Chain A
């Protein structure tokens, strides 16, 4: 599924990041294959991802481009 469909509290596996976003997100600490927590989802707005102690908000338009998979923890 796309990241914008994630729900708060879900544990996600990042499957695919479009190349225009890749280097930007790698710097912030997120790359393909990472496991992250969806800390919050604002309806019509950003998804907040948590990896370790870090939180990163990704706007809706970008979140649509990122493919994720819910992992069973």
Chain B
């Protein structure tokens, strides 16, 4: 019998941020990874098998091999300067073959990494991606000369249109074949003679070339600069030889307008107004939710379910008595189809309210990301955020917070200094509403109508945001980190990518939210039928009615809000309130404590003390500003 021996060949996708590695990964493995037009999307390393067809296996003699493709985080160089670089370095060291992806529009930047990789002496293939953008920008690249200059095979590709990816696959398989059979030479790239001199003394002590290279680069600042400078010169020389006259296009022009202080700020205000208010607030929270809730679920679904349940169990509404003791059967009925009904209110809330909002938020975010707008926004707000102890990069977690504060808190690790991490985390926990909360709040505010309640709500949050930021900036020593960013070109978002991203992110969110909501409904329902809810309301009543001047039933919202931010809105929908009370309730709910999951992430990313400080201060902020707002004669 033939002995089965499977060897794994590691193929690593390496490149600068935002050059299309994830799209290529997606194509070659059939596995979707989040793709977006801003740096730092891939934090975790994804790997999957490349599936070869029968014919390919025969042609390249791959029977005994398993090919693993690894998607690494985008970096500008490899020297362990941050988490992404360390992760990418590990990928490169473990790789048998490197696929270096560069963008046709930023060769002089991207080839720097290419040279560094080439100096490591591993088999490598160069992919020039986004070739269509070079064409639009009237940039011509002499790939033959580039290939000779680098000593590498070059594949030209437009990954999002799947152009060139079949030849990439063939090239990968062919390289593996050559490597295994040792018939043909495997291309590893031309080593730089000048760099070679610099690392020569390290080669003897190290097992691998890459190790020697990194040791040399990290030995001293001067040494690193010398090597970097050599590389930069070589790249610039090469680029000036192979890239022809570069011209500006219309898109570069628009890109510049967005960075103009005045036009850019007006556009930013307009984009946020259209996205948050018109699209999410008016269209989704108003029109879509109204339609789903009133015309679909409350017309067809809810009465139908209530009908069925009430045939078996009595359903008692608006009762806070201890039904368990008095009428056990009614307790079951009430839990299923009562005020917090597991079968009535919970699905309505999940599918008529939460789902459209989450979809809407992630759709808008995907458009902003894929168009390349977010880095431009980061540039515009950098000056302002630096006054609050952060820098422009912080805008990404802050906007993501509008989707899910917990997930956004995870992305604070993309920031560089401890100070900006803590401040961003605090502002996320205190002032940024997550999409579910945003949804209910927008729904409530749109019931009042007009932009005024919305402005009062947003204005209060803005004031708290700025004051908290300024205060923390004073209190926390150090600086908020420096801002250097590469601005990707503006792109017209691809609808497929946007829809895919929207659906996948929403699904992740809803998969997690759905069971949590049913648990919450079960908890509140059982509190209600055991009469405990009455007690809770009774004891928290003074806080709510005296301090915030709100109806006592709102208490339950705040208690639930501690568990999950979005539950906070759970009971709020059906409590009758005046306009002023509604706005106050919305503000307090937004400022109130971050949910348990967020607190857990805060502890993991920072520590218990910081998480508790944020948690406790949200009590003071929420009740302080709520009390103030309730007494202002705004309505």
Which residues of A approach B to under 8 Å, CB–CB? 8, 19, 21-29, 31, 39-46, 48, 51-62
Closest to B255 in A: A55
> 6 tightest CB-CB pairs across the interface, nearest first?
A45-B383, A59-B483, A44-B383, A40-B259, A55-B487, A27-B76
B413 interface hit (Cβ, 8 Å): no
Known: A31-B229, A44-B384; 18 extra A-B contacts, CB below 8 A, are: A21-B484, A23-B77, A26-B228, A27-B228, A39-B256, A39-B259, A41-B261, A45-B261, A46-B383, A52-B108, A52-B243, A53-B139, A53-B252, A57-B392, A59-B386, A60-B382, A62-B482, A62-B484
List the A side residues contacting B260 at CB < 8 Å. 8, 40
* Range class of the B interface residue count: 35 or more
A42 x B261 contact (CB < 8 A): yes
Q: Of the candidates A21, A39, A45, which one forms a contact with B380 in the assembled complex, judged by CB atoms under 8 Å apart? A: A45
CA distance A70 to B283 in the complex (A): 50
B256 x A56 contact (CB < 8 A): no
Which residue among B109, B260, B381 has the maximum number of chain A CB atoms within 10 Å of its CB? B109
CA distance A73 to B487 in the complex (A): 25
CA distance A31 to B109 in the complex (A): 12
Closest to A22 in B: B225
Q: Of the candidates B139, B232, B484, which one forms a contact with A31 in the assembled complex, judged by CB atoms under 8 Å apart? A: B232
List the B side residues contacting A8 at CB < 8 Å. 260
B327 interface hit (Cβ, 8 Å): no
* Pairs across A and B, CB under 8 Å, 10 listed: A28-B486, A40-B261, A44-B384, A45-B379, A45-B382, A57-B378, A59-B391, A60-B382, A62-B483, A62-B484
List the A side residues contacting B386 at CB < 8 Å. 45, 59-61
CA distance A48 to B488 in the complex (A): 12
B487 x A57 contact (CB < 8 A): yes
List the B side residues contacting A42 at CB < 8 Å. 259, 261, 264, 379-380, 382-383
**A19 in contact with B221 given A57-B487, A61-B479 (CB within 8 Å):** yes
CA distance A24 to B375 in the complex (A): 18
A27 → chain B closest CB, angstroms: 4
Q: Which of B112-166 contact A (CB under 8 A)?
A: 112-113, 137, 139
List the B side residues contacting A58 at CB < 8 Å. 483-484
Q: Of the candidates A48, A51, A52, A53, which one forms a contact with B379 in the assembled complex, judged by CB atoms under 8 Å apart? A: A48
B294 interface hit (Cβ, 8 Å): no
**A53 in contact with B246 given A24-B484, A58-B483 (CB within 8 Å):** yes
CA distance A42 to B598 in the complex (A): 34
Q: Of the candidates B137, B252, B485, which one forms a contact with A57 in the assembled complex, judged by CB atoms under 8 Å apart? A: B485
A57 x B228 contact (CB < 8 A): no
Which residues of B approach A to under 8 Å, CB–CB? 76-77, 79, 81, 105-106, 108-109, 112-113, 137, 139, 221, 224-225, 228-229, 231-232, 239, 243, 246, 252, 255-256, 259-261, 264, 375, 378-384, 386, 391-392, 479, 482-487, 489
**A61 in contact with B482 given A26-B112, A28-B109 (CB within 8 Å):** yes
List the B side residues contacting A19 at CB < 8 Å. 221, 225
List the A side residues contacting B109 at CB < 8 Å. 27-29, 54
List the B side residues contacting A60 at CB < 8 Å. 382-383, 386
CA distance A52 to B105 in the complex (A): 9
A9 → chain B closest CB, angstroms: 10
CA distance A18 to B406 in the complex (A): 38
Q: Of the candidates B112, B255, B379, B381, which one forms a contact with A27 in the assembled complex, judged by CB atoms under 8 Å apart? A: B112
**A25 in contact with B484 given A39-B256, A42-B380 (CB within 8 Å):** yes
**A52 in contact with B221 given A23-B228, A31-B232, A42-B380 (CB within 8 Å):** no
A40 x B484 contact (CB < 8 A): no
CA distance A29 to B115 in the complex (A): 13
Closest to A34 in B: B236
CA distance A42 to B392 in the complex (A): 12
B261 x A51 contact (CB < 8 A): no
A26 x B232 contact (CB < 8 A): yes
A57 x B379 contact (CB < 8 A): yes
CA distance A53 to B482 in the complex (A): 23
CA distance A43 to B232 in the complex (A): 31
List the B side residues contacting A46 at CB < 8 Å. 379, 382-383, 392, 483
Which residue among B261, B384, B487 has the maximum number of chain A CB atoms within 10 Å of its CB? B487
